[in-house]
Structure 1
Amino acid sequence: MAQGFGAQTFSALARVDPAHSWIRDRKGGLELELALSQGVPYRIFTLDDPRRVVLDFREADWSGVQGDGLLRSDLAGEATMGLVRPGWSRLVLSLNAPLALQRAALKIDPDSGSAVLTARFIRVSASDFAARAGAPYDAAWALPPAVQKAAPPRDDGVLRVLLDPGHGGIDPGAMRDGIRESTLMLTFARELREALVRAGVEVWMTREDDSFVSLEGRVERAHELGADVLISLHADALAGGGARGTTVHTLSKTATDEASRKLAERHERGDILAGVDLSHSDDVVADVLMDLARMETQPRSEKLADAVVNGLRSAGLPLNSRPRRAAGYSVLKAADIPSILIEVGFLSSDRDRANLLDPVFRAHLSGAVRDAVLAWHLADKAEAPLRRQ
């Protein structure tokens, strides 16, 4: 049974003290202790497939806390923490065995106001774990209702682009030498937005700050806004550092190569790290209808990807030896919106990393992407009368 705790009302930001916090195996179960500078509302629940424990907090600061530093456990495989949206943070534990919450308590020192959260989890059967799993509904914790925006008129000739800076919040993406993919892609997305806006394009972003947005939420935003194009921006890191140069990806049920398959898996992993409930089953009928819609949209996505590759090549920018790739990226699954994913470079490459940290290089890159998108848009409009109505 999913459970929530923390009826008290607190204010301000609680800092987590890693020196006095731990997650460890004890007496056949898993125990957690978190030292906080003050009490905050919290809740605890579990999710299945894959098995995870999720702890939500209001106004908790995880700066300086590393999952590896907390974990002293064989029952928990990984600990991730960070923002899931402004004012909300989350700790997610991946589990190596089915565990259920036995007890939890928040003890507050009456003199200092500091607090200690303790929780114990015990082994249960797989079927019992599955029955208990799920995020509980609680109006006090519910996200605000989405504001439904009417799609803008489609006959004004304005190109509408949704830029998607990859990762964010609890999911920082790739990290090298203190550089976070999520931060770097937010910077580049802002620069690309400026370049596009100056060319008369209407531009939105899936996130404006360091907050987490689920893959499904990114696609939903494209539909809510009536976007004509979705462009997801990434800068991954690969073991060995051999990969370098920009690659442009489109959706495919089968990956064009092993590297693309692994990239897609890493991008999907953000939802798992953030504790997104993945238990909903796909609607077979809906999948068939989406496949029909993609029969028209997918060729447009392919042409957009080709235009970006050709634009970068014409601008003399560094491309990967195989710049056009495809895999099953969830963020590209908007059936009616041409969508591409640009790996602008690899943080594991010294050359790419230096380039992406250079504002002059990024300006050159954003200009080339802008020109390619505009060229594609002109060609796409010319072909519109030939498409199935």
Structure 2
Amino acid sequence: MIRVIWLFLMLAWPLASAAQDVPRIKTGATRAVADGDGLELDLRLSGPAPYRLMLLDQPKRLVIDVKAAPGADAADVFDGAENFAAVRAAPFRAGWTRMVFELREPYAVRSAVMRTAAPGATGLSLRLSPVAAEDYDGATNAMSALWNLPQPTTPVLDPSRPQPLRIAIDPGHGGIDAGAVAAGLREADLMLDFAHELTEKLIRAGFEVVLTRRKDVFVGLEARMTEARASNADLLISLHADALPEGQAAGAAIFTWNSQADDRASRQLAARHDRADLVAGLDLQGTDDQIAETLMDMARADTQPRSEALAKHISAELAQAGLAMHRNPVKGAAFSVLKSPDIPSLLLELGFLTDPGDRDRLTDPGWRAQMSRAVTDGITAWLDDDAALAELRRH
């Protein structure tokens, strides 16, 4: 019996517009390295691509489906292929290639990251750790999914909400701005991965989603807000995993706009985010004159309470899911990306790359799935309350 124990899908990645844009598997550059703690598999690609992973039984094997053209070389012609009992690859679905790695012993996928940092080094990096046979089987029941799942049906919407909520998801940093970097991980890459995972969850829950960036490119802070507004977004959620001196911060935190925030760490993070635009020659400092700032504050009289309510709902769902949170999980800060006066906005710090525990969680597909589910549930709960409050405001 085939048993699927883990699935990671990124359905929202845009389709390539031309044949030369389609990534290709670089089999010859792929490598697998065994150490005392398991296996490191680095599947090289000519460019980033959507992918999913599964561990199947009888025989035990790792399956990687990637939206890329197959490699020119045989599937098992790469450094370290002998760490697997067999390796094979073949076209699977339109535009997808399936690679199958037969395992010599039971493994669990501990981390999966699409790396895009260096030219020629783009690829999917996996960490596999050995587990007992019973644990391999036990994981089967934790998360199961198949390619032939039915497409989600369009939800029946409340008449008071004739249009689905449109959410702008903003993966922080990108391009020349890598964001925080620690242990070989780039914040920009991790946030783009998570943005696609979260997008898939939100779409299945009946929401519409726009992304402020879909690949590893630089987008200025003002451009991110402009994109959200041009898309008629109802919400903006900016995703980050920042860096502070080790020991200062760990766990998820949610920020809403507060120009007077007196928390030192919050001020450090806000200043660090704005410096990213300075790197690209854009300076947001002093762009709001006193009159404009006053008008924006007046407009925020409606959106700010909604942003704060959204932050509390998401925080509650994270806590209920047992996800690691900062000791003060809901805060205010003067992040420029939160300045929009007419769109409820928040910045979600998924964790801090300077914290070893957070790094492990950010690269753990199971943890990311829990996080994206909790965020989706928080938005859903907030939307119900917000609709009720909107009705009261009308009266």
TM range (shorter): 0.5 to 0.7
**Aligned counterpart in structure 2 of residue 169 of structure 1, from 172, 175, 186:** 175
1:156 Cα shift? 2.0
SS in 1 for 2:173: coil
Alpha-carbon distance in 2 for matches of 1:168, 1:178: 16
Name structure 1 gaps, 5 residues minimum.
1-82, 84-153
Match status 1:273 vs 2:279:
yes
Number of residues paired by the alignment? 238
Aligned residue number for residue 356 of structure 2: 350
Aligned to 1:190: 196
| TM-score with structure 2 setting the length | 0.58
Instruction: Find the aligned partners of 2:275 and 2:287 in 1 and give their Cα distance.
Output: 18
- What's the CA shift for 1:256? 4.2
- Find the aligned partners of 2:287 and 2:313 in 1 and give their Cα distance: 36
Please state how far the C-alpha of 1:363 moved relative to its aligned partner: 0.3
Q: What whole-Å deviation, never above 9, does each CA across 1:350-375 have from its counterpart, x for those lacking one?
A: 11100110111100100000000111
Partner residue in 2 for 1:334 = 340
- What is the letter of the counterpart of residue 317 of structure 1? L
3-state DSSP of counterpart to 1:361: helix
Conservation of the 8 A alpha-carbon contact between 2:274 and 2:284: no
CA distance in 2, matches of 1:224, 1:388: 26
Aligned twin of 1:379 = 385
Q: Where does 1:124-203 land on structure 2 (aligned, <5 Å)?
A: 156-203=162-209
8 Å Cα contact 2:171/2:240 also seen in 1: yes
Asked if 2 retains the 8 angstrom alpha-carbon contact of 1:256 and 1:325, the reply is no
Report if the CA contact (8 A) 1:296-1:387 is conserved.
Answer: no
Q: In structure 2, the residue corresponding to 1:216 is in which secondary structure? A: helix
Task: Normalising by structure 1, report the TM-score.
Answer: 0.59
Quick one: distance in 2 between partners of 1:279 and 1:250? 19
Q: How big is each residue's C-alpha offset from its partner over 1:197-244, in whole Å with a ceiling of 9 and x where there is no partner?
A: 000100011000000111101111111111110000000111124411
1:185 is aligned with what amino acid?
M
Percent identity over paired residues: 51
- 1:293 is displaced (CA, Å) by 0.7
The whole-number CA distance in structure 2 between the counterparts of 1:346 and 1:278 is 25
Distance across 2 between alignment mates of 1:262 and 1:207: 25
Query: Cα RMSD (Å) of the superposition?
Result: 2.0
> Structure 1 segments of 4 or more deviating over 6 A?
none
CA contact (8 A) 1:247 1:319 kept: yes
Aligned to 2:270: 264
Give the whole-Å Cα distance in 2 for the aligned partners of 1:388 and 1:290. Answer: 22
Amino acid at match of 1:222: A
- Structure 2 unaligned segments of length 5 or more: list them: 1-115, 117-159
More strand by share: 1
Which residue in the other structure is 1:370 paired with? 376
1:282 to 280, 288, 293: 288
Paired with 1:321 and 1:277, the residues of 2 have a C-alpha distance of: 32
Cα deviation digits, residues 23-64 of structure 1 (max 9, x gap): xxxxxxxxxxxxxxxxxxxxxxxxxxxxxxxxxxxxxxxxxx
Give 2:229's match in structure 1, choosing from 198, 223, 244: 223
Aligned mates of 1:263, 1:383 — CA distance in 2: 32
